[in-house]
Amino acid sequence: MSDAIALLARIATLTPYFAVSTGPVSGEDWQPTSTLRDTDVRNTLVSAVAERMGTTEMRVAASTVFFGYAARLWSVAIGSVAVSGRCIRLDPGELLWRGDGSITHLHIERPRFGESAAVEVLDRQVGPLIAAWGDVVAPGLMWGNTASALAGAGRMIGDAASPLVDALLDEPRLRESLDRSTGRRRSCCLFYRTPSGGMCGDCVFPSRPPA
């Protein structure tokens, strides 16, 4: 366990976005990330983000919440593998979250190493979450967010992450989400539909479509 704690402290120095706190917790603020699959928890998060973004489209806000969470998961997974060759376990019952209207902090009381990054992120976390959120936002869009977040996490780390990112983008659930020759997505995250939204660098659209 001490090795996993030290690794999480090390990857947190890359950027605060990679940070996962550790140790005992008290109070009711922290929840297992498995609760994100609960309809009421999801709707509360999505409604808060929709209000902050100034949109009435729940699918737009849900996409934003999902994208941010996927990016955090990949940051931990890719960061830990790039630095140590091992992936931190991201069990939904052990990985905790809290936040005021969004998922702003992650915590593991007793961190340990798990299986591959694909298992920890896609099997344990993302796949079940997509199944639970599919009534709000299209699953294909969320897989696109997952692939885009993976590529973004890899860029934050640099060359050390490239082989792992490339291998994960060949994973069947992600393979069709990005055009590998251009780096562009094959779906849109919908951010352009917010009042202040623009086009992402990997957007499927060459220019902003009509709202």
82: burial class by Cβ within 10 Å (0-12, 13-18, 19+)?
buried
Host domain of residue 142? 2-192
pLDDT for 185 equals: 81
- pLDDT tens column, 44-85: 999 999 999 899 999 999 999 999 999 999 999 999 999 999
Count of beta carbons in the 10 Å neighbourhood of residue 100? 8
Say if 18 falls within a structural domain.
Answer: yes
Say if 202 falls within a structural domain.
Answer: no
In the structure, how many helices (H) and strands (E) does the chain have?
A: 7, 6
Say if 203 falls within a structural domain.
Answer: no
pLDDT for 179 equals: 82
All residues at 6 or more sequence positions from 166 whose CB lies less than 8 Å from its CB, including other chains: none
- Tell me which residues of the chain have a pLDDT lower than 50: none
b/e sequence 26-46, b meaning 16+ C-beta within 10 Å:
eeeeeeebbebbeeeebeebb
Contact 124, 91 (CB under 8 A): yes
pLDDT for 40 equals: 96
pLDDT for 71 equals: 94
All residues at 6 or more sequence positions from 50 whose CB lies less than 8 Å from its CB, including other chains: 56, 57, 58, 60, 61
Say if 148 falls within a structural domain.
Answer: yes
Count of structural domains, the chain: 1
Please list the alpha-helical segments (H only) found in the chain.
Answer: 2-12, 39-53, 58-84, 117, 127-133, 139-157, 162-169
| Residue reference for tokens 């729940």 | 58
Say if 128 falls within a structural domain.
Answer: yes
Say if 198 falls within a structural domain.
Answer: no
Say if 54 falls within a structural domain.
Answer: yes
Say if 205 falls within a structural domain.
Answer: no
pLDDT for 189 equals: 74
pLDDT for 202 equals: 66
